[in-house]
Structure 1
Amino acid sequence: MPTTAAPSITLDTPAEGVRRITFNRPGTYNAFTFDMYRSLLDALRAIQYDTEVRVVIVTGAGAGFCSGHDVRTRTPPAWAPGLSGGPYRDLFAMQEIREIPLTMRALPQPVIAAVNGPVAGIGLMFVLAADIAVAARSAKFVNAFHSTGIGSEGGVSYLLPRAVGSQRAAEFLLTGRPVEAEEAAEIGLVLRAVPDDELMPTALELAEAMRRNTPLDNWLTKQALHANSEGQSFARAMDLDTRGVVLSRTTMDLMERRAAMAEGRAPTYKYQ
């Protein structure tokens, strides 16, 4: 049985070492309310220090991944009480929401987005903030920011060009043309597009491959990947990779990894 962090965010463990976070408002294609942002952020922060969790999967319930922010929500965010509208409410709201992609990137565990069905608005932020995304063939990526009269948000204008290139990012962000799953895979928005019934098995297969690595190996590699995407030089990137090699070679978990490979068994890590 899944444990519930909030009625609209559920957590479960579909495989050993894998924590799945499901956006659970299927009747709205998992449109987010302010309470959901807080619940998701709380869940991510708890996972950060949970050594039983080696990989995180984020996905949506029902026929959609996330259709963005629920624009019908008029209640101000709980962390900005008394602010019913205007720029101050928006600024206070984004101070919390902006922590979600930053926390996803800061997690020591790799994050996989299993994208089922439509993705719009803030939902695109969750996909881009993940380390790897795989999409069901039913997935469709839509720029809904202009539909609500705003520019891109949640760091999408930073992350999207790094995933697909500046020209494709400009087209996506400045027009309303949707991107289907197969095209998303071709341009690098997702790793691959798979039949709908293979989406979660594919995500779990990726998670199992990651879980074989030592915890520190994954953590340092993830740090280096994201740091070097905005690094100043090849030399600095080499410095960061060298640090990772030196640190990872000092752990007992590395010895366990080598022993498990030699003995043909799954490794058991102790974070030592």
Structure 2
Amino acid sequence: MSTQTILYGFDNGIATLRFNRPQALNAMTLSLMEELDAAFDRAANDPSVRAIVLTGEGRAFSTGADLTADNAPPVDVQGRLDLGYVLDRYYNPLLLKMRALPKPIIAAVNGVAAGAGANVALMADLTIAGRSSYFLQAFVNVGLIPDAGGTWLLPRTVGTQRALGLALLGERLPATKALEWGLIWEVVDDAEVLARATAIARQLADGPAIAIERIKRAMHAAAQNDLAAQLDLEADLQRDCGRSQDFTEGAIAFVQKRKPQFRGR
């Protein structure tokens, strides 16, 4: 499928989603968000998709919301732009969908990831960035607060001081420092970003799908759970994994000292 602003590709268990507005550095319009949401639905509902790669066409991942787009947000009764509606209608459901999606999402960040583009990249399960890439919480520079999950994600990942510094100062965070801070998984040479993200997706696509989905669910639930609730969740999810054919195959392969052949069952 090739749409106007999102390109969808599939190869041997891996769905690759690309922002396709390179002339605008992949700035996000409302129609792009709708297409991205539909692309995630397509990948989620296709049993042949085992992992998802998200990246951008051209020299940027995404510079965030397109402030010059024709499809501007609605206005309230006093004629003021209602940016809250845009978040409620387009961004927030997408971010919740990414977190709840049972298949792993790997972001391949090429060039700049700014504003909502940065936070969408960081909301992926694993984020790979090019060495010259950077992340920018650009919101304060136009009089806004970080959205697309930024105020939730950043303090939990890098701590309050660093999160506030990123949000209040609106300065670039180079990929190498984002790695040092634990914000992303890996930094590679610029030319290798997509290939490395696809290689990781390949490893996950060949892995035990039931366990991978439940690892993702457990890790994301930990931010809201206390210890007792998390231990209960671990027991429930481990029960599911223990009943899977993948666990049986993994255990037999371990004993036989061979590579397991997981089937996602």
TM-score normalized by structure 2?
0.91
Runs (5+) with no aligned partner, structure 2: none
Query: 1:226 Cα shift?
Result: 0.3
C-alpha displacement of 1:148: 2.2
SS in 2 for 1:99: helix
Which residue does 1:8 correspond to in 2?
Answer: 5
Please list the CA deviations of residues 50-80 of structure 1 after superposition, one character each: whole Å capped at 9, or x if unmatched: 1111111101111100001111014246xx6
Residue deviations 1:165-209, cap 9 Å, x none? 111111000002211111111011211211012212221222222
Q: Is contact 2:138–2:171 with CA below 8 Å preserved after alignment?
A: no
Q: CA deviation at 1:111?
A: 0.7
Residue 226 (structure 2) pairs with residue 229 (structure 1): no
Matches within 5 A, 1:96-175: 96-175=90-169
Check whether the contact 1:25–1:61 (CA below 8 A) recurs between aligned residues. yes
Aligned length: 263
Residue identity in the other structure for 1:51: P
Q: Distance in 1 between matches of 2:200 and 2:147?
A: 29
User: 1:260, 1:30 → 2: CA distance?
Assistant: 45
Once the two structures are aligned, what percentage of the paired residues are identical?
A: 30
What code does the residue aligned with 2:53 have? I
Please tell me whether residue 93 in structure 1 is matched to residue 83 in structure 2. Answer: no
Decide whether the 8 Å contact of 1:56 with 1:109 is kept in 2.
Answer: yes
Contact 2:13–2:51 under 8 Å retained in 1:
yes
| TM-score, scaled to structure 1 | 0.89
> Of residues 199, 203, 211 in structure 1, which corresponds to 2:197?
203
- For 2:245 and 2:19, how far apart are their aligned partners in 1? 37
Mapped partners of 2:134, 2:158: distance in 1 = 16
Cα root mean square deviation, aligned? 2.3
Specify which of 58, 64, 67 is matched with residue 68 of structure 1: 64
Counterpart in the other structure of 1:51: 47
Structure 2 letter corresponding to 1:56: I
